[in-house]
Structure 1
């Protein structure tokens, strides 16, 4: 299946020496895919790689708002996470800063874009561009935390979740 077909698996890789780019086409409308990032009731259903779960401590989706959460790994390890939203263009773009805590000097920046794919509006291309402060931090994320594979799995989980909702015709 090519990466331009609805439901195509995520494409991923690295571009410059500090960046990771992951994209995927999802068989669901753009507004629904975007909404899955804006409401904690959705995020808790799909966020993270295979086997992970998420506990949210605080969530406010607005520029300057934060998402304070813990990701629970399948081996029982807890990962403290903190996101601050820096830009929001409804249904099109989300920019954020992501670290382990507020003012984390090793935090990275991500830009997520959402665009209709193909002639039909029932498919969406999502792209995540993540820029790390240094090449070393990017390499550590790739090698130690499997960031590319984890990002791909996260988008696969998103795709499965929103595709199910879109086909049900309901947003629970």
Structure 2
């Protein structure tokens, strides 16, 4: 198994960060690398729920995704099983800190060959996801 880990401290409460994950409209705004947009067809944010969506790339291509929310522990943890290729498990953990919330992002691939083929995309994309999550939270705080 190959796992890519990153983390980010976000100056917001665990509940505020979780709200940006647990709301399909907000999730669609920030999910994915820079330049991507999303169209969700199914987003059942419960343990065992389905998540079917298309990521629209800045290259004009569409990337279909099928996932299952394997575990949802409000507001501390989300485990997403990506069941379409490439297959992986993404664990997002939220831990309170004095300055806000530490977001831990762990993406595990069972197949090391697949992991090595996508590493050049996954590593920067995971950072961009956290950039976009941070921006979504800041935008919401500005609106409040």
TM bucket normalised to smaller:
over 0.9
Give 1:98 shift: 0.9
**Gaps (5+ residues) in structure 1?**
1-16
Secondary structure at 2:92 match in 1: strand
Taking structure 1 as the reference length, the TM-score comes to: 0.79
CA radius of gyration, larger in: 1
| Greater percentage in strand | 2
Q: Deviations over 1:86-111 (max 9, x none)?
A: 111101011120132xxx5x511111
1: CA distance, partners of 2:69 / 2:50: 6
Q: How many residue pairs end up in the alignment? A: 144
Matched, 1:21 2:5: yes
Matched, 1:86 2:61: no
2: CA distance, partners of 1:112 / 1:81: 18
Give 1:167 shift: 3.4
**Gaps (5+ residues) in structure 2?**
none
1: CA distance, partners of 2:118 / 2:94: 24
- Specify the alignment match of 1:54 in structure 2: 38
- Specify the alignment match of 1:147 in structure 2: 122
Q: Deviations over 1:65-122 (max 9, x none)?
A: 011000010010111111101111101011120132xxx5x5111111001122x5xx
